[in-house]
């Protein structure tokens, strides 16, 4: 199979797997991350094939969506093997997928390679800005969470376990993760885009609180 064929078949496989997701991780999230990662790749000059495979497969074994995988990219690995992808390349793609996820405000998530940094940036750009706001509330609704609870302040999680256990209101997620992402971008291009998306979230939060507190009267 050619690289083009493998990418095409991988996209079809992932599209089918994510078709019915209602947690903000539907196929269009994957498609946006794929497109953003390709755009970053052009700017930063990384290996396109690795970036595309990792972007397409990055949420297949995510701990939030597939808890039984235990954070290991088991399905991604099996798929890459089935497609006959070179084992060293498959290993690199799996390394990227494993390191990608945010794991708490005080937990570092370094990426060894430029390809990994690009896919992590693309995934994180999709978590902020207008789309990030929409996805956060979609996820909160999916998990049965409150929009906002003034009685439970945000917490800066020091371990992945604490972060995973947190079931707090969606507004807290902005302080616990989304507003921290602009300073955790890897590439200069993503940093620039993140600054603008960040400003949009800050405006949204200001307006949200103004309406909540009746400040318009």
Please give the backbone phi and psi of residue 9, each rounded to the nearest 5 degrees, phi first.
-70, -35
Task: Extract the tokens encoding 52.
Answer: 């595309």
Distances (CA, A) of 33 to 98, 127, 140: 16, 10, 21
Determine which residue in the list 37, 41, 53, 127 makes contact with ligand ADP, applying CB under 6 A. 127
Interface stretch with ligand ADP, choices 129-137, 150-158, 196-204, 209-217 (CB under 6 A): 129-137
Give the span between the Cα atoms of 208 and 217, in whole angstroms: 14
Q: Which residue has the tokens 């954070």?
A: 71
* CB neighbourhood size of 158 (10 A): 12
Distances (CA, A) of 45 to 37, 114, 120, 217: 11, 9, 15, 52
Q: Binding pattern to Ni ion, positions 76-115, x when CB under 5 A?
A: ----------------------------------------
- The residue nearest ligand ADP at its CB is 127
Residue 170 touches which member of Ni ion, ligand ADP, none, C-beta under 5-8 Å by kind: ligand ADP
Q: Which is nearer to Ni ion, 61 or 123 (CB)?
A: 123
Nearest residue to 145 (alpha-carbon basis) of 123, 102, 124, 174: 174
Q: Which is nearer to Ni ion, 37 or 90 (CB)?
A: 37
Least distance in angstroms from the C-beta of 43 to ligand ADP = 21
Q: Binding pattern to ligand ADP, positions 11-40, x when CB under 6 A?
A: -------------xx---------------
Touching Ni ion, residues 108-147 (CB under 5 A): 123
Determine which residue in the list 17, 44, 52, 59 makes contact with Ni ion, applying CB under 5 A. 59
Question: Based on the number of CB atoms within 10 Å of its own CB, is 100 exposed (0-12), middle (13-18) or buried (19 or more)?
Answer: buried
Q: Which is nearer to ligand ADP, 144 or 214 (CB)?
A: 144
Least distance in angstroms from the C-beta of 170 to ligand ADP = 5
Least distance in angstroms from the C-beta of 85 to ligand ADP = 22
Task: Extract the tokens encoding 140.
Answer: 């909160």
Determine which residue in the list 62, 71, 204, 208 makes contact with ligand ADP, applying CB under 6 A. 62
Task: Extract the tokens encoding 37.
Answer: 């990662």
DSSP state of 84: T
Nearest residue to 183 (alpha-carbon basis) of 174, 175, 191: 191
Give the number of residues in contact with ligand ADP, rule: CB under 6 A. Answer: 17
Q: Which is nearer to ligand ADP, 1 or 146 (CB)?
A: 146
- Residues binding Ni ion (CB under 5 A): 59, 123
């Amino acid at each position: 199979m050619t690289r083009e064929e493998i990418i095409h078949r991988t996209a079809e496989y992932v599209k089918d797997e994510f078709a019915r997701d209602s947690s903000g991780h539907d196929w269009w999230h994957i498609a946006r991350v794929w497109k953003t990662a390709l755009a970053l790749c052009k700017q930063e000059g990384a290996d396109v094939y690795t970036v595309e495979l990792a972007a397409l497969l990055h949420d297949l074994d995510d701990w939030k969506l597939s808890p039984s995988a235990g954070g290991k990219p088991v399905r991604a690995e099996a798929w890459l093997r089935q497609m006959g992808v070179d084992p060293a390349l498959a290993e690199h793609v799996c390394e990227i997928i494993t390191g990608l996820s945010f794991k708490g405000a005080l937990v570092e998530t370094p990426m060894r390679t430029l390809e990994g940094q690009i896919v992590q940036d693309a995934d994180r750009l999709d978590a902020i800005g207008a789309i990030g706001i929409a996805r956060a509330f979609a996820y909160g609704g999916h998990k049965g969470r409150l929009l906002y609870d003034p009685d439970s302040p945000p917490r800066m999680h020091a371990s992945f376990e604490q972060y995973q256990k947190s079931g707090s209101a969606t507004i807290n997620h902005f302080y616990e993760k989304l507003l921290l992402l602009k300073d955790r971008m890897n590439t200069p291009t993503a940093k620039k885009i993140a600054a603008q998306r960040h400003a949009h979230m800050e405006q949204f939060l200001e307006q949200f609180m103004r309406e909540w507190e009746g400040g318009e009267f």
